[in-house]
Chain A
């Protein structure tokens, strides 16, 4: 890790409670500004919960409480004066199951720019929609049917549409929660190629169940176990020479 890469998120003693249950027991981590950071770990280890703290999606869950500090570029994102709505415009998210809105492909991508008033003319919006779809690698496949429903696309196309939708509001960070778990191997390969391209512009944090995927796409990997961050290091190091035996057991398939 070179010194030229800045830290995007600084997390100190982050704890998440669902009612009386503590799902995360004090996480300290620094997430770099560029590149892909992967969160791995067995089901229920808290990695998805942790991912959702970065855009405050946990706020929408009843009885969920987050404590500790998370700073993005030095700004406390849990500052009571900070509107989570504005935060989410900067921190996009892609979910496990593709969730295009039951609207046309065009309207799906234009949704964010419209609600945030990012464009001032139809031509500008058209250009932004095209740019976002191009970046998501979907433009060539859908340019002739922008008026058709986004729900009519295949699973892989839907997931890239959702990424285009997130890109359209020009976020700095894209969170991905097991984005390939509902996709076939070919669509997964396309998605991974896309992540490879996007990491030049965005800070990407990806939760994945696939060891191989983490090894392929990420620059840094964090291993979570039972609500604790066990190990966080360069992906190469984690997969070749992990510092912790529990990490080694998990990536070699002995636990989890």
Chain B
């Protein structure tokens, strides 16, 4: 087939646009003729749709029918000059036929606008269905592969096992061929880093939001806001090597000066840098929410003799709290799903620990480690990645549901 599909697409575009232009002017001519025949004063019922709608109607019919021919041709998978010529001719004939047939329908009574609006509605529905189907497809593939994994490793052993060492032998005669797939250490690592990150990003982001919305002058806002948003634009891999090469050695040096010996890679280093990464996330979402609290509430508080900080703490903050909780939940989902920083700075060893100075590993890091490199896609070693992904997906889904429920339940009516 070669280049044929591209030419076909161009042809379809030309036919569609040509059909639009041709039939719009045809409709305009008929309309003018009808108006002239009526002596310049037409009854409101005499002509339904504007000329451009007749054009759009033609364009839709031409576009859809020629596209159908194009897709049928693709499915037949024919080859050779004969097939290509037939395909091309069929497309052109279909397009022209559609232009002529819809052109004949142009009249004051034909409700082109109604049809065009229905086409557009159908198109919009189709787009949203595609988005939903994609999500369902991802869930289905996660579920399907996870079930294959759970055939080989019991579900309970995976979910509640305390040992994570997913090595399986490449050849069956090797020793230690069965790995252990207890996910608890991996998820514990994820949550430890998430907690460290939120301990940084939560308070700092919220304070930034409060300062920027309530206290900062226009000039300060003008400079500080973009500066913070730059933080959000830094690629995560840059954060990753900043964490690994700059911040982690600093953490180690600090701990050593206190008499501890810690590895370079640690939950603290990754968590703090990840916290810095999601600060703009928390601060911009929270400041939107705080801005949305109406001025009349602040005025009401000031008029009672409340100071700025009393107003902030007791009125604005409580009014904005549901939205702030929502912002935090979104930030947590972001932290749990983040990969690059932890891959570089947190380590690969699955330690079950609550000590942030130790190296831990996270779900996302393990998924990357399991699926990169040479591995066949039938061993538990790779299938476990899908199971991890599924559990991670369920956790973030639950977080979002909880966040939405909290927000809806306590939403303030101003």
- Seen from chain A, the residues whose Cβ lies within 8 Å of a Cβ on chain B are 55, 57, 60, 85-90, 92-93, 95, 97, 99-103, 111-112, 115-116, 149, 151-152, 162, 165-166, 169
Contact B299 A169 (CB under 8 A): no
Q: Indicate whether A95 sits within 8 Å of B300 (C-beta atoms), given known contacts A115-B310, A116-B305.
A: yes
Neighbouring A residues of B318 by C-beta, 8 Å: 101-103
Neighbouring B residues of A115 by C-beta, 8 Å: 304-307, 310, 314
**Would you give the 0/1 interface string for B294-317, flagging 1 where the beta carbon is closer than 8 Å to chain A?**
101111111111110010001100
Contact A169 B305 (CB under 8 A): yes
Contact B299 A60 (CB under 8 A): yes
- Seen from chain B, the residues whose Cβ lies within 8 Å of a Cβ on chain A are 294, 296-307, 310, 314-315, 318-319, 412-414
Contact B412 A57 (CB under 8 A): no
Listed by A's residue number, 30 A-B pairs whose Cβ atoms lie within 8 Å are A55-B303, A60-B302, A85-B305, A85-B307, A87-B305, A88-B302, A88-B304, A88-B305, A89-B305, A90-B305, A92-B303, A95-B296, A95-B299, A97-B296, A99-B296, A100-B300, A101-B297, A101-B300, A101-B301, A101-B315, A102-B319, A102-B412, A111-B301, A111-B304, A115-B304, A149-B413, A165-B304, A166-B303, A169-B304, A169-B305
Distance in angstroms between the alpha carbons of A100 and B299 in the assembled complex: 11
**Cβ-closest chain A residue relative to B411:** A102
Neighbouring A residues of B297 by C-beta, 8 Å: 99, 101-102
**Cβ-closest chain A residue relative to B293:** A102
Distance in angstroms between the alpha carbons of A158 and B100 in the assembled complex: 66
Distance in angstroms between the alpha carbons of A165 and B310 in the assembled complex: 16
Distance in angstroms between the alpha carbons of A111 and B306 in the assembled complex: 9
Nearest CB of A to B268, in Å: 38
Nearest 10 interchain pairs by C-beta: A89-B305, A102-B412, A93-B303, A88-B305, A99-B296, A99-B300, A112-B304, A151-B413, A102-B319, A115-B310
| 8 more A-B residue pairs beyond the given contacts A101-B318, A169-B305, with a C-beta to C-beta distance below 8 A | A89-B305, A95-B300, A111-B304, A111-B315, A115-B305, A115-B310, A151-B413, A166-B304
Neighbouring A residues of B305 by C-beta, 8 Å: 85-90, 112, 115-116, 169
**Cβ-closest chain A residue relative to B319:** A102
Distance in angstroms between the alpha carbons of A149 and B304 in the assembled complex: 19
Contact A57 B301 (CB under 8 A): no
Contact B299 A99 (CB under 8 A): yes
Distance in angstroms between the alpha carbons of A116 and B305 in the assembled complex: 8
**Cβ-closest chain A residue relative to B297:** A99
Distance in angstroms between the alpha carbons of A97 and B297 in the assembled complex: 10
Nearest CB of B to A249, in Å: 33
Neighbouring B residues of A90 by C-beta, 8 Å: 305
Nearest CB of A to B66, in Å: 57
Contact B414 A162 (CB under 8 A): no
Neighbouring B residues of A60 by C-beta, 8 Å: 298-299, 302
Contact B303 A57 (CB under 8 A): yes
Distance in angstroms between the alpha carbons of A115 and B308 in the assembled complex: 12
Distance in angstroms between the alpha carbons of A93 and B302 in the assembled complex: 9
Neighbouring B residues of A116 by C-beta, 8 Å: 305
Distance in angstroms between the alpha carbons of A89 and B303 in the assembled complex: 7
Distance in angstroms between the alpha carbons of A234 and B294 in the assembled complex: 37
Nearest CB of A to B339, in Å: 39
Nearest CB of B to A206, in Å: 15
Contact B299 A85 (CB under 8 A): no
Neighbouring B residues of A151 by C-beta, 8 Å: 412-414
Neighbouring A residues of B412 by C-beta, 8 Å: 102, 151
Distance in angstroms between the alpha carbons of A90 and B304 in the assembled complex: 8
Q: Indicate whether A85 sits within 8 Å of B303 (C-beta atoms), given known contacts A102-B318, A102-B319, A151-B414.
A: no
Nearest CB of A to B410, in Å: 9
**Cβ-closest chain B residue relative to A56:** B302
Neighbouring B residues of A162 by C-beta, 8 Å: 300
Nearest CB of B to A87, in Å: 8
Nearest CB of A to B319, in Å: 5
Neighbouring A residues of B306 by C-beta, 8 Å: 85, 111-112, 115
**Cβ-closest chain A residue relative to B311:** A115
**Cβ-closest chain A residue relative to B413:** A151
Contact A57 B302 (CB under 8 A): yes
Distance in angstroms between the alpha carbons of A86 and B306 in the assembled complex: 9
Neighbour of A57 across the interface among B299, B319, B413, B414, CB < 8 A: B299
